[in-house]
């Protein structure tokens, strides 16, 4: 604990900040209590002669108070938000700018609208805020081409997003609220296009144009099912995926493969660093270039919270390389979490946020122990050629990464999908290694499509057996009765005890390792 305070105060503060957000989100916290905690924490931190237990207490109190204060401010809906016009399921005409890349699904077109004006019951008023729009029925096929940044006028039913129908069920209203969206509009008539691209950010528009080109290229060179899986792997687009196959990904615990999250960012970093070493690019400048590529990828993947979190965490870690400092994963994790929660504290209650950070935290405390254990044994395999030893150690590293990632994400997945995967470890061990080839080959196929159709066809030919292999593994592991078990949502206390147990076990093993390596006194 002393080491955490002295060497990783940012991590301690970030954890306390998250705890304050959670406490305030669970129930109303009086402002006087928040102010008192902040004052006491600040006083303990300002006292130079404060012993380290009191300084740690001050840091925790200050962090919790700041988190509770930020959560309190986030719960206040701005006075001009379109949310105040919703709730009556009345017809309204809303004018605004499309704020994301519209997603076309069978019979529907989904997008977010940055509202500017609403006409309702003969009254026109200026509004702000985001609106979740669903353009339903067959009219979605007759809609003019809509892109990010288009200013449109749309008439439909303005209402609150649907809430959960049963206790513990998924609530679309809560999900959107965590993203700052408090109203929804359902329309059946095509919108009126006022101006094309007037409100677009040129960088975002370029990234989403590249996203469309990737999807078009993959669909042109691969069978429909393989193209749908690859679109999910590369950019998180799952709208064309067969529902049965998507369910198998959930049953096997491999749904993260289709989420454009930390795994995909890690694979990109691995290949980009390898290419930089091959081209003898200095490490600090390679880190800077990789950061730029990662954020371009994050935008192309739709700017989803999962890939944004992974890109932010990687940015903090790579920035240490650029400034020629020793990277520290726990500190990077704390900084990334704090930055995200400062921007939107409601993200803490999103299962994706919880899964991302708890999985990485689990890997941070377990993988060093796993790597050290097998590295010592690999050095004794003297009968094997050096290349074989390296390959065996890499395979063991990948196995540990898969195993402990499952260990870190299992409680959150169980709570989000109400099922526990019995085939998850096996399926991930078989699927994850293939992604190290699928991801680069997928991007090469999309890039070659605009240069040489022959090169794109060759790359797609190499991709096809890998994709078929992934699909076959997921179906084989996901369709059996042994694949998963339906369970109730685990209590929050049980989840907290689970992660505390993992941390305690890792600390105990680390202490034993230190004791065994300590030289004996003579």
Which of 56, 74, 92 terminates a domain? The answer is: 74
Which of 74, 107, 126 terminates a domain? The answer is: 74
Task: Judge contact between 383 and 338, C-beta under 8 A.
Answer: no
Cα torsion 369, 271, 225, 217 to 10°: value is 160
Work out the mean pLDDT of the chain and round it to a whole number: 83
**Residue 518's pLDDT band (cuts 50, 70, 90):** low
Asked if 108 and 163 sit in the same domain, the reply is yes
pLDDT tens readout for residues 93-145: 999 998 887 887 777 888 899 999 999 888 888 999 899 999 875 544 455 67
pLDDT at 516: 66
Task: Judge contact between 501 and 411, C-beta under 8 A.
Answer: no
Asked if 133 and 21 sit in the same domain, the reply is no
Cα distance between residue 327 and residue 320, in whole Å = 5
Task: Judge contact between 132 and 102, C-beta under 8 A.
Answer: no
Residue 346, in any domain of the structure: yes
Asked if 295 and 434 sit in the same domain, the reply is yes
Asked if 149 and 276 sit in the same domain, the reply is no
- What is the per-residue DSSP string for 128-182? BSEEEEEE-STHHHHSPP--TT-EEEEEEEEEPPP--SSTTS--HHHHHHTTTEE
Cα torsion 98, 104, 108, 110 to 10°: value is -30
Asked if 133 and 155 sit in the same domain, the reply is yes
Q: Which domain holds residue 98?
A: 82-195
Residue 202, in any domain of the structure: no
Average pLDDT for 214-224:
89
Whether 44 shows a pLDDT value over 80: the answer reads: no
Q: How far is CA 213 from the centre of its chain?
A: 23
Residue 380, in any domain of the structure: no
Q: Which comes out higher in pLDDT, residue 288 or 26? A: 288
SS3 282: coil
Asked if 145 and 244 sit in the same domain, the reply is no
Asked if 249 and 338 sit in the same domain, the reply is yes
How many domains is the chain built from?
3
Strands 108-120 and 103-105: antiparallel
Helices 224-235, 424-449: axis angle to 10 degrees equals: 100
Which of 141, 166, 195 terminates a domain? The answer is: 195
Residues with Cβ within 8 Å of 250's Cβ and at least 6 positions away in sequence, in order, are: 417, 419, 478
Asked if 215 and 166 sit in the same domain, the reply is no
Strands (E), 358-490: 419-421, 484-486
Asked if 343 and 294 sit in the same domain, the reply is yes
pLDDT at 469: 94
- Dmax over CA atoms of the chain, in Å, equals 92
Asked if 356 and 238 sit in the same domain, the reply is yes
Strands 181-187 and 130-135: parallel
Please state the pTM of the whole predicted model: 0.80
CA–CA–CA angle 345, 301, 299 (5° rounding)? 70
pLDDT tens readout for residues 360-409: 888 888 888 888 888 877 777 767 777 787 888 888 888 888 888 888 88
Asked if 9 and 66 sit in the same domain, the reply is yes
Whether 410 shows a pLDDT value over 60: the answer reads: yes
Residue 398, in any domain of the structure: no
């Amino acid at each position: 604990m002393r080491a955490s305070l002295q060497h990783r105060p940012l991590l301690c503060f970030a954890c306390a900040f998250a705890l304050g957000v959670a406490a305030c989100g669970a129930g109303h916290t009086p402002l006087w209590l928040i102010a008192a905690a902040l004052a006491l924490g600040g006083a303990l931190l300002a006292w130079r002669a404060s012993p380290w237990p009191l300084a740690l207490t001050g840091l925790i109190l200050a962090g919790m108070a700041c988190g509770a204060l930020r959560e309190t401010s986030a719960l206040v809906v701005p006075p001009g938000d379109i949310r105040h016009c919703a709730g009556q399921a009345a017809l309204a005409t809303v004018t605004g700018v499309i704020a994301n890349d519209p997603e076309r699904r069978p019979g529907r077109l989904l997008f977010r609208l940055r509202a500017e004006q609403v006409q309702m019951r003969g009254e026109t008023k200026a509004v702000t805020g985001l609106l979740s729009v669903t353009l339903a029925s067959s009219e979605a096929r007759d809609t003019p081409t809509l892109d990010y940044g288009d200013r449109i006028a749309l008439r439909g039913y303005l209402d609150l997003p649907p809430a959960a129908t049963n206790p513990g069920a998924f609530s679309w209203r809560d999900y959107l609220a965590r993203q700052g969206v408090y109203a929804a509009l359902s329309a059946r008539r095509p919108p009126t296009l006022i101006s094309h691209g007037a409100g677009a950010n040129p960088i975002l528009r370029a990234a989403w144009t590249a996203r469309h080109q990737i999807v078009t290229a993959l669909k042109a060179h691969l069978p429909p099912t393989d193209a749908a899986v690859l679109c999910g792997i590369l950019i998180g687009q799952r709208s064309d995926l067969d529902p049965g196959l998507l369910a198998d990904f959930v049953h096997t615990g491999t749904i993260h493969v289709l989420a454009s999250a930390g795994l995909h960012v890690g694979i990109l970093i691995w290949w980009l660093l390898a290419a930089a070493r091959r081209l003898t690019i200095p490490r600090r400048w390679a880190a800077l270039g990789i950061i730029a590529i990662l954020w371009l990828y994050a935008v192309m993947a739709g700017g989803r919270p999962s890939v944004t979190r992974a890109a932010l965490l990687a940015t903090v870690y790579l920035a240490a390389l650029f400034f020629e400092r020793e990277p520290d994963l726990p500190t990077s994790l704390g900084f990334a979490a704090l930055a995200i929660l400062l921007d939107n504290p409601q993200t803490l209650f999103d299962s994706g946020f919880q899964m991302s950070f708890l999985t990485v935290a689990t890997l941070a405390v377990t993988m060093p122990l796993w790597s050290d254990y097998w590295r010592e044994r690999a050095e004794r395999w003297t009968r094997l050629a050096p290349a074989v030893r390296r390959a065996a150690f890499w395979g063991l590293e990948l196995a540990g990464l898969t195993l402990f990632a499952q260990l870190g994400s299992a409680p959150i997945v169980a709570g989000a999908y109400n099922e526990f995967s019995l085939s998850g470890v096996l399926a991930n061990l078989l699927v994850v290694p293939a992604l190290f080839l699928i991801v680069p080959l997928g991007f090469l196929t999309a890039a070659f499509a605009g240069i040489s159709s022959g090169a794109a066809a060759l790359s797609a030919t190499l991709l096809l057996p890998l994709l078929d292999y992934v699909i076959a593994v997921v179906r084989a592991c996901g369709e059996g009765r042994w694949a998963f078990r339906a369970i109730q949502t685990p209590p929050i206390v049980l989840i907290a005890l689970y992660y505390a147990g993992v941390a305690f076990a890792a600390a105990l093993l680390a202490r034993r390792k230190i004791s065994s390596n300590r030289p004996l006194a003579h």
